[in-house]
Amino acid sequence: ILDFSKIEAGRLEVETIPFSLRESLGDAMKTLALEAHRKGLELACEIGPDTPDALLGDPVRLRQIVLNLVGNAIKFTERGEVVMRVQPQSSDDGEVTCYFTVSDTGVGIDEEKHTAIFA
């Protein structure tokens, strides 16, 4: 809630530091693995082979986002799997933007609520 308030006020500071994508995601997924295992779910993280490991960004914020999104997917999935995928997106200036998706075999979100949640 505090971070959301800072975002709305334009005061959230995001770091730009070197970090290992695979190490950061691996640590976050390990944190979530116990709950997934307890529920009998398969938890996977698939990083595209062309995705660089050494990135500049904010690993703390990335961890928060992964824990929130994947944690919610685990929470609302009764059976099956939760999969996070990362793919690089090309850009003209030599920078790499990573595209993250989280999919699961849970009940999903009503179509009518998509705009309110994801807008």
Residue 44: strand pairing partners: 83
- Tokens standing for 7? 């975002």
26-68 residue pLDDT tens: 999 999 999 999 999 999 999 999 999 999 999 999 999 999 9
Token pair for 56: 């500049």
Q: Which CATH superfamily is domain 15-118 in?
A: Histidine kinase-like ATPase, C-terminal domain (3.30.565.10)
**84 in Cβ contact with 102 (< 8 Å):** yes
Which of 24, 27, 1 lies closest to 12 in space, CA to CA?
Answer: 1
Segment 60-101, tens digit of pLDDT: 999 999 999 999 999 999 999 999 999 998 777 778 899 999
Domain boundaries of the chain, sorted by first residue: 15-118
Which strands, in side-by-side order, build the sheet including 97-104? Answer: 42-47, 81-89, 97-104
The structure's pTM equals 0.82
